Amino acid sequence: MFRNIGWPELVLIAIVVLLLFGGRKIPEIMRSLGSGIKEFKKGMHEGEEEKPVPQVKTGSEKPSDQKPQ
């Protein structure tokens, strides 16, 4: 879908964004977008560190629902 975007299309998109948001608002938008991406990457990194450790059952454990004989 976006494989054929060239320089003329990018310039047109930049002009439309400039007209919609104005020159003063664009740096704020880019700054908040950058901080959002940074937080997202930080959350992804923290999620990788907190992977659950698989629990291995041993044969010596007794099931809790059975009565001892």
How much is the average pLDDT of 58-69?
60
Cα dihedral 53, 54, 57, 58 sign = negative
pTM: predicted TM-score of the whole model, two decimal places: 0.47
- For 13-57, the pLDDT digits (tens) are 989 988 998 888 888 988 999 999 999 999 888 877 766 666 777
